[in-house]
Structure 1
């Protein structure tokens, strides 16, 4: 079985946050399965700056990084290679929504009669449920074109029930498959015993993440509470945040590898006051590291409360500072243990990969048994 992944960017372009890691996790796992050949067609974009390009790292499957010449992922070389790559594949897996490869990939898969699984990675959901989502009219036109160009055998991959509901509101009648992301479970590490309390925000620095609300809430928290912010984003937005933040808020920039592990090890509570998340891989990573989580009902993590490893709040009906202060007064160590156990039981990479392989096989069988019209 031959699987083609098409994405506007790919590892090690970690500037783009969670989708880079989750897409790579799918490819890493699927490529190891017997009888599977996998390749990736993407661009060399490593960030919004046109001159920022990835330095490819060795991977156990071929990745074609085409040259990005404009925008976030405008790469003529990707278009040139697209027909041959799609013709090679039994199943096409497209990641991304309002980006350069999306419409050509949908059209090419339709023209060549190939089944396609489409992972919007929360973009359709964010446009549906976030009132401040930018360029809404342009996105509506994009969605109309996607509806017109896509073939009958397109399946929307979602990671939660909420994403399924809100994405299909944007795209109309379309088959969906729900496969949550997986998370790696690191070795258990000792927690800090310092007297101060450390809040952690880790992810893409973007208005929809609600970081401005978290920074504002710091004014209502005790003096021993500090906030560590890890991530990158628009320079003007970051400069504005820093200008409005006090001395107990520390911006550390991008974190991967050892730096990311250290960030989780130093944290007492992970806070993501997001306006929209299809999954929120950083939440799963925090729980896997034994860090309790406070997030919002605009994410698919409502079970935090019932499992006892954090809280999921309605931003409109809650005081963020009070909610944080309440959690800091609880047994965070015990909450972290429960969260880590939850990730081990329900979010293993083995289960995720098995679901994808099963779905790819079903899609390939549909194609070979379809009766020509």
Structure 2
């Protein structure tokens, strides 16, 4: 008989707006569904939305291809979780550390059950310094309570990078077992075409949620003193409207040689094809434990300009992009100026290198066996 695995996550298919975490869960389910009896517990609507998915039945178990899923309505989320925990699952996987409904509440309710399943928490970049600096007081107090009340013999962490593993150890003084396995990569099948960059011009793309963590305002500020014809096109869900308004104020202060346009949300299936039309993907994120959108940029042959708050530390040495410290915005501006001046032949090497990096460092490596071994060893 298969062991039972309950996966709690804020969003899942047919949602499209949650980005990387959604795709990460999908990859885990595909890797484990033949080994475990998997139940996904999630919301019945997409990120920044309240309308239920038209194709699902809320608050009922729905059978999918090799697993089952419960789409919880807001009013029945708590009762659904209570009912499910009475089934005494073997493993509980929480795809967030701070999610109130899909991490905090399940852990709290477990204290009142007789069973003690293995609890695996994937913090998804929530414990990095940049992420913790957003709403810091609330996060600080919850982290203290978590450390005080959770037992190290049944709670553990699964991190997607060595830096994230160190963040967990630093925050909780190595109290909890922590395992580091690179995220399961989602293979991207795409026709690779080299777009032509023009000398003294640079087409930049930003694809991510409009939120403080993704740091769009920093990207805009870095363009204040750049030269040449620079274009920044922004795609992504407007998660924080007040933050976007602050970005708009920065945009109007830019020089005429810099053009910025917001195009709204982009469907996941269109991301790579869209990125192929640009010279540079720019993401000065405050923290990223993996960054599926970075993988998509590399698959598109679009060199990446990143902050040093991601696990992609060897990008520069492979000529696939640049990782710079957020403490020095001038470095970002200077890098953009240098890239803008390059002629098509000079810049082409970076586009080819980005695609080669994806082929050799990402697509050819599979961590599926490591994930299977990890989850089986937890039972």
> Normalising to structure 1: TM-score of the pair?
0.85
Contact 1:183 1:349 in 2 (8 A): no
Contact 1:198 1:226 in 2 (8 A): yes
Tell me the equivalent position of 2:180: 178
Give 1:343 shift: 2.7
Quote the Cα distance in structure 2 between the aligned partners of 1:280 and 1:8: 18
Tell me the equivalent position of 2:223: 218
For the structure 1 residues 192 and 349, does the alpha-carbon distance in structure 2 shift closer, same or farther, using more than 3 Å as the test? closer
Quote the Cα distance in structure 1 between the aligned partners of 2:354 and 2:131: 31
Tell me the equivalent position of 1:237: 243
CA shift digits 1:57-107 (9 cap, x unpaired): 7952221110124xxxx932433333135x1x3322111121222133234
Q: 1:22 aligns with which of 17, 21, 24?
A: 24
Q: 1:197 aligns with which of 180, 193, 202?
A: 202
Quote the Cα distance in structure 2 between the aligned partners of 1:323 and 1:223: 13
For the structure 1 residues 124 and 269, does the alpha-carbon distance in structure 2 shift closer, same or farther, using more than 3 Å as the test? same
Q: 2:273 aligns with which of 250, 262, 267?
A: 262
Give 1:268 shift: 0.9
For the structure 1 residues 346 and 138, does the alpha-carbon distance in structure 2 shift closer, same or farther, using more than 3 Å as the test? same
Tell me the equivalent position of 1:343: 358
Tell me the equivalent position of 2:59: none
Tell me the equivalent position of 2:91: 91
How big is the alpha-carbon RMSD for the aligned residues of Structure 1 and Structure 2? 2.5
For the structure 1 residues 221 and 257, does the alpha-carbon distance in structure 2 shift closer, same or farther, using more than 3 Å as the test? same
> Normalising to structure 2: TM-score of the pair?
0.84
Quote the Cα distance in structure 1 between the aligned partners of 2:197 and 2:208: 25
Moved over 6 A (4+): none
Give 1:328 shift: 4.0
**Superposed counterparts of 1:126-205, under 5 Å:** 129-130=129-130, 133-151=133-151, 152-172=153-173, 173-181=175-183, 182-193=185-196, 195=198, 196-205=201-210
Quote the Cα distance in structure 2 between the aligned partners of 1:42 and 1:78: 10
Give 1:230 shift: 0.8
Moved more, 329-338 or 350-359: 329-338
Unaligned 5+ runs, structure 1: 365-373
Give 1:329 shift: 4.4
Tell me the equivalent position of 1:117: 120
Tell me the equivalent position of 1:81: 83
Would you say how many aligned residue pairs link Structure 1 and Structure 2?
A: 352
Contact 1:43 1:78 in 2 (8 A): no
